[in-house]
Amino acid sequence: MEQREPAAVDALFAEALGAGESRPRAREVLSRAPDEQVLASALRRAVPVAFLEEVASTRPWSERPRVLARVVLSPRAPQALSLRLVSGLYWRDLAEVAATPRLPAAVRSRAESLLRDGLADMRLGDRVTLARLATPALLPVLLADSERQVTESTLLNPRLREEDLVAAVRREDVRTVLLEATVSSSRWAANYAVRLALVLQPRTPLPLALQQISSLVPRDLRRVADEAGLRPLVRAAAREVLAGPEAG
């Protein structure tokens, strides 16, 4: 949320600090909170724990997921409180929680678990957006998505590591959409480890596998030529490149 009415935010924050760790005083301050936007903005600051606990237990704020998200993301929120609230957050806020290093590992892990469990019910556009900003724990699931748009967005995620993509390409149940998107990816198409994984993946479409052969070093060409599970044409192409221009 963007901060609006800075004077009101400053005033609410000052009152929250003045209440200290007194729950009754925090409750009184909270009763004067002007609106959700101001409260959410104030919660971005280091308010006392008592104020956070009152927000989490006082209606209507305790029923507002975006307000509760600011409680979970607060630098002072106790782990137990955050774990209690995190299941009620929207997916975007869960993604932010999962990606915030200063939060307890248990809270971040819970957010990732909730996101993973909710993927099947998310709209395509939301999955595409999530794929760009998801944390590493979610990337294998997103790489296995049946929609090319989701796969392409995941390939652009800066948190995606070479070893994670290679592992996804090597899976026995890898989807063709991932193999095709990887070959077309401006980020990954020239990556040697990924190219080798594509050639060694029996499910890679034949034209795409053959396209990678000439980039392999002799050691890996021999490996491809000897790999019994690959198509005969792929193995023959590897032998031909190994033999050099004098072949045939």
Whole-number percent of the chain with pLDDT over 90: 81
Q: Which two tokens stand for residue 209?
A: 């596998």
Q: Do the Cβ atoms of 47 and 13 come closer than 8 Å?
A: yes
CB pairs under 8 A, 24+ apart, for 210-215?
A: 210/234, 210/237, 211/183, 212/183, 213/237, 213/238, 213/241, 214/241
- pLDDT bin (cut points 50, 70, 90) of residue 1 is very low
Question: Letter for the amino acid at 63?
Answer: E
> Can you tell me the distance from the alpha carbon of 31 to that of 135, in angstroms, rounded to the nearest whole number?
37
Closest CA to 199 of 173, 177, 229, 161: 229
Identify whether 60 is preceded by a cis peptide bond (ω within 30 of 0): yes
**Average pLDDT, integer, range 158-186:** 96
Closest CA to 132 of 97, 160, 157, 103: 157
pLDDT tens for residues 203-216? 999 999 999 999 99
**Average pLDDT, integer, range 109-125:** 95
Per-residue confidence (pLDDT) for residue 4, from 0 to 100: 53
> pTM of the entire structure?
0.85
Q: Do the Cβ atoms of 106 and 133 come closer than 8 Å?
A: no
Whole-number percent of the chain with pLDDT over 70: 97
| Residue 17, Cβ density class (10 Å: 0-12 exposed, 13-18 middle, ≥19 buried) | middle
* Helix segments in the chain, DSSP class H: 6-19, 23-31, 36-42, 49-57, 65-73, 79-85, 91-98, 105-118, 124-133, 139-143, 148-156, 162-170, 176-184, 192-200, 206-213, 218-225, 232-243
What is the residue extent of each domain of the chain?
A: 1-86
Q: What does pLDDT average to over the chain?
A: 93
Q: Which two tokens stand for residue 69?
A: 């998200």
pLDDT tens for residues 15-35? 999 989 999 999 998 888 778
Q: How far is CA 92 from CA 69, 88, 209, in A?
A: 10, 12, 37
